[in-house]
Amino acid sequence: MNISKLLLAFLTFFFLYANANELVQNQPTKKKIVYIVPNINIPFWNIMAKGIEKRATLLGYDFEILDTQNSAKKELENTVKAIKEKVIGIIVSPTNSSACVTILKLANEANIPVVISDVGTDGGEYVSYVSSNNKNGAYKIGKLLTNKMIEKGFSNGKVGIIAIPQKRLNGQERTIGFIKALDESNIVNADLKQFESMTNEKTYKYTKEMIDKFPNLHAIWLQTSHIYKGALKAINESEKKDKILLVTFDAEPEFLNLIPKGVIIASGMQQPHLMGETALVQLDNHINGISVKKDLQLPILIISAKNIEEKLPIIKLNVLGIEK
């Protein structure tokens, strides 16, 4: 072979290799799924992420967590990143229901299917929405609380609510269900404080304000769990810990001790690990042409000292993500 033919063969090979390499780089990632999460450092979202990752690994997907860090700007950047990577699907727990509309619009324009896991959306097209029955769960925890208040002679007492953002669909449903339970027992809602940033410092401040303002305050309901220490601190400092009942939504590992001791009367526990697994299965079914449920609600566990021992295996796995 002369030099000209050799050079031509080399150039042809180089051209084909370069184009093939570019083609591969531009191909969509066939097996990658991302989870856009509000804040991975909050235990609830961390446990949900573990459920998604567990099922994704079992089904052979590559998986990445995109942490929004409670920033609407970062959430949008994460959505654009997922689209540029041409992922096969997105699972999102939006920062709020209105923000989810934009996420869905961008993903739909890129033909990427989206499953929403908790929080909800104010509109837009999605494959499936996996949530907890927030309204029913809040109603049930409200009934348990009102019965306990009546039992203790606090039927004329008031209840304070420290709420997650009410622009979230799940927050709205929790408030509606809980207030319904109070109304049925003629127990008054004293006040509702709404989080901007969910911290123990804010919880302490809100709880203390309610205790100081309402002498006949006999209960506090926290619509989330990881900020419970702030409420307990304020109650203990008021020297009214035997007169102010604390109930929550969701759960922390410490609740396995605090509920039996009566420090926390009860909690309506979502099942984030199960929700995460379920969201991934719904997305996988859609990808494989299997029909899915548009809206899928999982039950909330109403846990008190009476049933915590019986429900412990479910709590450990589905609620707290403890697999051993």
Question: Any idea where the domains of the chain sit in the sequence?
Answer: 26-131+272-298, 134-269
DSSP state of 40: T
Instruction: Give the pLDDT score at 324.
Output: 72
DSSP state of 88: S
Instruction: Kindly give the confidence (pLDDT) of every residue in the chain, 324 residues in length, as a single tens digit, with 9 standing for 90 and above.
Output: 455 554 444 444 444 444 444 444 444 445 999 999 999 999 999 999 999 999 999 999 999 999 999 999 999 999 999 999 999 999 999 998 899 999 999 999 999 999 999 988 999 999 999 999 999 999 999 999 999 999 999 999 999 999 999 988 889 999 999 999 999 999 999 999 998 778 999 999 999 999 999 999 999 999 999 999 999 999 999 988 899 999 999 999 999 999 999 999 999 999 999 999 999 999 999 999 999 999 999 999 999 999 999 999 999 999 999 987
What CATH number should be reported for the domain whose range is 134-269?
A: 3.40.50.2300
How many angstroms separate the Cα of 247 from the Cα of each of 199, 205, 208?
17, 17, 16
Residue 96 has φ and ψ, to the nearest 5°, of: -160, 170
Task: Calculate Rg over the CA atoms of the chain.
Answer: 24
**Which token pair is 156?**
């004329």
DSSP letters for 208-269:
HHHHHH-TTEEEEEESSSTTHHHHHHHHHHTT-TTT-EEEEES--TTHHHHHHHTSS-EEEE
Q: Same topology for domains 26-131+272-298 and 134-269, yes or no?
A: yes
Instruction: Give the pLDDT score at 2.
Output: 55
DSSP β-bridge partners for residue 296: 130
Under DSSP, is residue 30 helix (H, G, I), strand (E, B) or coil? Answer: coil
Rounded CA-CA distance 162/195 in Å is 7
Q: What burial letters (b/e) apply to 127-163, b meaning 16+ CB within 10 Å? A: bbbbbbbbbbbbbbbbbbbbebbeeeebeebbbbbbb
Rounded CA-CA distance 287/193 in Å is 42
CATH of 26-131+272-298, one of 1.10.10.10, 3.40.50.2300, 3.40.50.9100, 1.10.275.10: 3.40.50.2300
User: What is the DSSP pairing of strand 89-92 with strand 114-117?
Assistant: parallel
**Which token pair is 92?**
């999102």
Which candidate, 114, 162, 144, places its Cα nearest to that of 292?
114
Instruction: Give the pLDDT score at 168.
Output: 85
